[in-house]
């Protein structure tokens, strides 16, 4: 098997897809693995802006058939790298129409597809997930409860749902992603800093909070990525 493909998805805007992508990149780099970022949020490429000078990146529009072709080719051309895909809001149409392009090539690419489906506490997060799993049936899906929206227990709709049963019975896990203090996440977004550059530039207090958060997500994501 070649290295896996990670997708940070969720279809909705503002659920935390970008921040989970950032955490995935940071965790993979910590493992000293090569990574290629595919930024598909071409209208607001926030993760691309943060990481374009530090890792290999590609900007690819996944609302069109050509984008999916390009993405599969990038996966083939970078066999030694983990591919991390940051998705845009409302990308469910593209996934439904062209998801098969990726799903059908996974075997030949010799890569596993792992999706990190980021949710808030609302129902539509779960409904969109069902469609995604239909379009990309070979992906393992981990559901990411973003604690920016509340503690794990507050995700009642998901915790007691049928979707959860189907996620966990097909090898996925339900994980909880830690909350970073607003003033530090504002630093990352407004100054377009990668975590590494933030660790060089921010004041000591902000760096301490960043370190706390980083250690937490590395532990949580590391377990899922490894196993």
Ligand X SMILES: Nc1ncnc2c1ncn2[C@@H]1O[C@H](COP(=O)(O)OP(=O)(O)O)[C@@H](O)[C@H]1O
Site for ligand X in 5-44 (CB under 6 A): 10, 13-19
Residues 161/126, Cβ–Cβ less than 8 Å: yes
Give the separation between CA 141 and CA 113, rounded to whole angstroms. Answer: 9
Residues 79-98, one symbol each (x = binds ligand X by CB under 6 A, - = not), give ----------x---------
Choose the one of Mg ion, ligand X, none that binds residue 146, judging by a C-beta under 5 to 8 angstroms depending on kind.
Answer: ligand X
The interface with ligand X within residues 131-190 (CB under 6 A) comprises 146, 148, 177, 179-180, 185, 189
Closest distance of CB 146 from ligand X, Å: 5
Smallest gap, in angstroms, from Cβ of residue 164 to Mg ion? 24
Query: How many other β-carbons are positioned within 10 Å of the β-carbon of residue 46?
Result: 18
**Residues from 14 through 43 that contact Mg ion (CB under 5 A):** 17-18
Tokens standing for 67? 């984008």
CA torsion sign for 190, 195, 201, 202 is positive
Start-to-end Cα distance in the chain: 14
Q: Which positions touch ligand X (CB under 6 A)? A: 10, 13-19, 89, 146, 148, 177, 179-180, 185, 189
């Amino acid at each position: 098997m070649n290295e896996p493909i990670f997708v940070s998805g969720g279809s909705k805007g503002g659920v935390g897809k970008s921040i989970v992508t950032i955490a995935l990149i940071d965790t993979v780099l910590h493992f000293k693995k090569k990574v290629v970022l595919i930024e598909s949020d071409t209208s607001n490429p926030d993760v691309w802006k943060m990481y374009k000078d530090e890792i290999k990146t590609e900007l690819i529009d996944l609302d069109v058939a050509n984008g999916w072709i390009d993405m599969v080719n990038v996966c083939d051309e970078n066999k030694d790298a983990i591919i991390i895909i940051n998705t845009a809001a409302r990308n469910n149409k593209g996934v439904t129409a062209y998801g098969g392009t990726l799903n059908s090539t996974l075997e030949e690419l010799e890569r596993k597809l792992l999706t990190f489906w980021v949710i808030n506490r609302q129902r539509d997060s779960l409904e969109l997930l069902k469609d995604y799993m239909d379009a990309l049936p070979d992906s393992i899906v981990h559901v990411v409860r973003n604690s920016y929206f509340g503690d794990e227990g507050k995700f009642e709709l998901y915790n007691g749902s049928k979707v959860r049963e189907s996620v966990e019975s097909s090898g996925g896990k339900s994980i909880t992603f830690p909350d970073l203090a607003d003033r530090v996440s504002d630093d990352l977004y407004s100054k377009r800093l990668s975590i590494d550059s933030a660790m060089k530039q921010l004041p000591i207090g902000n760096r301490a909070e960043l370190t706390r958060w980083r250690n937490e997500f590395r532990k949580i994501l590391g377990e899922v990525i490894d196993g």
